[in-house]
Amino acid sequence: MSEPLSQDRIERALQELPSWSLHDGKLRRELRFDGFPAALSFLVRVGLLAESRGHHPEIYNAYAKVTLELVTHDAGGITEKDLSFAREVEAFTP
């Protein structure tokens, strides 16, 4: 099992992930797309990535808005696994 990261480590990582924030103990990113089809396409990519990594984010969708929240539940906090996932999502986010 992964260990939760210190607050200092999380804050340093967020400097490298400016689109992400800390919200209720989770890494959070809100995205807006041109419409539902674009949002759905993004959701599918995130879902496939999550499944391949065995790491499943909390995903919320309302038409063209998608919110991702990352936390490693079994570790009780944000871990390197969450940061790695956020970086991978950034690689294909418009």
Q: 17-68 pLDDT, tens per residue? A: 999 999 999 999 999 999 999 999 999 999 999 999 999 999 999 999 999 9
pLDDT at 6: 97
- Confidence band for 94, pLDDT divided at 50, 70 and 90: confident
pLDDT at 1: 64
> Using the 8-state DSSP alphabet, how is residue 55 labeled?
-
Rg of the Cα trace of the chain?
A: 13
Using CA atoms, how far apart are residues 50 and 62, in angstroms rounded to an integer?
Answer: 20
User: Do residues 34 and 64 make contact, with C-beta atoms less than 8 angstroms apart?
Assistant: yes
**What's the pTM value of the predicted model, to 2 decimals?**
0.94
Pairing of strands 58-62, 21-23: unpaired
User: Do residues 32 and 42 make contact, with C-beta atoms less than 8 angstroms apart?
Assistant: no
